[in-house]
Amino acid sequence: MRKLTIQILLSLFFFLSLNAYSQESITWGGYTISAKSKDKDLFPNFNLLKDKMAPMQYEIVKSIDKPYLLSPRGQVSTGQTKSIVVAFDKERITGGKLGDICLWQYTISAQVILFELEGMNVLQTHPVGRSRNYVEQDVSRCTAKKRDKERDKFRFCQIFLGLETDEYYSKEEVENKCNNVSLANAGNGLMKEIGNVVSNIEISDKKNIRFAGIGNISLTDRAKAILSGDENFISHPFFTNEKVFDEQSYKDWISQYFAKTISSTLKVPLVVPFAGSVGGKVQLKYSDGTAIDLTLPELDYSFDIAIRGFAKSLMDETPKREAWVYGSYITMDFGGLISKQSSKVKNGYVLENVKGDFINDWREFDNSIKELAKEYAQQIQKTDRKWVTRQTNMKYKEGKKYFGYIKETLEQVK
C-alpha cells in the first residue's frame, strides 16, 4: 500500500512538473501610459494612483488561474519570449451644469497588450475601461477649475477598486476606502476587469497571425450637428470642451465601446487606434521606467462605424408617467482591405419616467448606443430572425450571411 502511494505521488509530481514546464513564461510589465510625451499630464489622477494600484493589480493577476506562467519583469532572467503591459490611453472628466444640477462623467480606459520581446511586435490587444456618472447639487463649484481635485482622485480610485462610497466622502473615507484599502475589501472594479482579461489571454505560437479591429469612425453632418446642439438638443455634455463638441473624444468612445463589447462577447482580441502612435509605432514604458518601442499590427479586417443620427419620440403617456424612445442609427461595415460587407443598424432605447422629472437626453442616447453594441455582438454569436428584420435594413437571409461572415472571419484572429 505504501509503495502504491509513493508511486501515485511521484506520478502526480512528474505530471505537475511537466505541466509547469510546458506552460510558456510571460513577463508582467505592469501599468504604463499610451500617449505622446507632451500628453502625459492628461493623466493626473492615474499618475497619483499608480503606485498604489499597480502592485494590487499584480496581486489580482497572480491570484487567478492562467494557461501560462507570469513573472514580474526582472525576477526571471531566461525563458520569456513575450510580455504583457496595461497601457492606459484615456483619463477624462467631462460634464458641467445641466439644469439645476452639476453632472460629471469620469472615464478611464486602457489596452491590455501582449507583445513579443524579440521584435517588439504587438500580438494581441484587449480594450478595458470604466465610466461612472456623479450628480452634485452644489452648482457653485460646477466648473473644471473649481471642482474638488482630491475628490476627483477618490472617485477614480473607487473606479479602480469597484467601490461606491462617494456619498460618504471625507478625509476619513479617503483613507479607509482608497489609501489604506486592501484587496479583501475591493469590489468588481477596473482592476478585476483587467485581471480577468489578462488571465484569459490565449498564448499562441501561430506565425501567420491575422488582426482585426476598429477602423474608421465617422459622423454624418446631421449626427455631428445634433451632438453639437442642433435640433433642440444641447451639445453632448460628456464630450463638450469649452462649449464646443469634441468630435475626436466621441469617436474614441465609440471605438473603445464597440471593441470592448465585441471582444468580450466573442472572446476575440480586437485592435483599436492607439493614442500616441506615430508611423505604426508607439512608445511605452515598463513600470520600472524602461522605454519600449512597440510595432503596431496592420489590420487584416476592420469594423468601420458611421454614426448617422439620433431621434427622440414619445411612445406612451399617462397622467403621471411617460415613455420615451431614444433612437440611434449607425452603419456597420466589416471586411478586409479590398471589400467590406455593410449593414444599417438601429436601436430604440425605452426610458420610462415620472412626468416633470429631469431627463438627461444624452445619457439615454448613450444607453441606446451601448444597447445596440451589445445586441450587435450577440447577433454575431447567434443571429436572431426577429432582430435582423426589426433593427437592420437586411432580410433575414442577408443578415445571417452578414453576421456569419463576421463570425467566421473573427475565428481566424483568435
CA distances from 39 to 75, 79, 145, 248, 405 (A): 31, 35, 19, 15, 39
- Predicted confidence at residue 108, as pLDDT, reads 95
If DSSP codes are grouped into helix, strand and coil, which group holds residue 215?
Answer: strand
Regarding predicted confidence, which is higher, 80 or 325?
325
pLDDT higher than threshold 70 for residue 207? no
Contacts of 361 (CB under 8 A, 6+ apart): 233, 234, 312, 326
Whether residue 367 has pLDDT greater than 70: yes
Cα torsion for 328, 228, 98, 135, to the nearest 10°? 60
Residue 65 predicted with pLDDT over 80:
yes
CA distance 58 to 70: 10
Angle at the Cα of 81 from the Cα atoms of 75 and 84, rounded to 5 degrees:
70
Instruction: Give the distance, in angstroms, between the CA of residue 299 and the centroid of all CA atoms in the same chain.
Output: 19
143 burial (CB, 10 Å; 0-12 / 13-18 / 19+) is exposed
Instruction: Work out the pLDDT band at 1, boundaries 50, 70, 90.
Output: low
DSSP, res 87 = E
Q: What is the pLDDT of residues 287-342, one digit of tens each?
A: 777 888 898 888 999 999 999 999 999 999 998 999 999 999 999 999 998 889 99
CA 196 → CA 46, 62, 86, 123, 199, distances in Å?
20, 11, 13, 18, 5
How many angstroms separate the CA atoms of 226 and 269, rounded? 33
Residue 99 pLDDT level (bands cut at 50, 70, 90): confident
Query: How far are the Cα atoms of 29, 68, 272, 400 from residue 200, in angstroms, in the given order?
Result: 17, 10, 19, 29
pLDDT at 45 > cutoff 70? yes
pLDDT at 11: 46
**Over the chain, what is the mean pLDDT?**
88
| Alpha-carbon dihedral angle through residues 381, 383, 389, 392, given to the nearest 10 degrees | 30
Q: How confident is the model at residue 48 (pLDDT cuts 50, 70, 90)?
A: very high
What pLDDT score does 355 carry? 87
More confident residue, 20 or 24: 24
Flag whether pLDDT at 122 surpasses 60.
yes
Q: What is the pLDDT of residue 13?
A: 44
Averaged pLDDT for residues 130-159: 92
The reported pLDDT for the residue numbered 75 is: 55
pTM, two decimal places: 0.84
Three-state secondary-structure class, residue 62: helix
Q: Which range among 202-211, 334-343, 365-374, 381-390 shows the weakest confidence by mean pLDDT?
A: 202-211
Burial of 25 (0-12, 13-18, 19+ CB in 10 A): middle
- pLDDT score recorded for residue 113: 93
pLDDT at 46: 95
196 phi and psi angles, rounded to 5 deg: -65, -40
Does residue 179 register a pLDDT over 60?
yes
Distance CA 82, CA 94 (A): 37
Q: Is the dihedral of CA 272, 276, 281, 286 positive or negative?
A: negative
Helix (H) or strand (E) holding 403: helix 396-411
Lowest mean pLDDT among 135-139, 184-188, 270-274, 316-320: 270-274
Cell digits for 221? 453632418
For a pLDDT cut of 90, what percent of the chain falls above it?
A: 62
Q: Report the chain's C-alpha Rg in angstroms.
A: 24
Determine the Cα–Cα distance for residues 264 and 250; give it in Å rounded to an integer.
21
pLDDT classification of 14: cutoffs 50, 70, 90? very low
What does the pLDDT read at residue 233? 92
pLDDT score at 12: 46
User: pLDDT band at 88, cuts 50/70/90?
Assistant: very high
Q: Which contiguous run of DSSP H or E holds residue 71?
A: strand 69-72
Query: φ, ψ for residue 248 (rounded to 5)?
Result: -65, -40
Answer whether residue 210 shows pLDDT above 60: yes
Positive/negative CA dihedral, 285, 287, 288, 294:
negative
Q: Is 43 helix (H, G, I), strand (E, B) or coil?
A: coil
Average pLDDT over residues 262-290: 82
Say which range, 64-78, 227-241, 300-314, has the weakest mean pLDDT. Answer: 64-78
pLDDT tops 80 at residue 216: yes
Q: Does position 246 have pLDDT exceeding 80, yes or no?
A: yes
Closest C-alpha to 202, from 249, 284, 259, 267? 267
Asked which of 269-273, 283-287, 325-329, 367-371 is least confident by mean pLDDT, the reply is: 283-287
Q: 17 pLDDT exceeds 80?
A: no
For residue 221, pLDDT over 80 is answered with yes
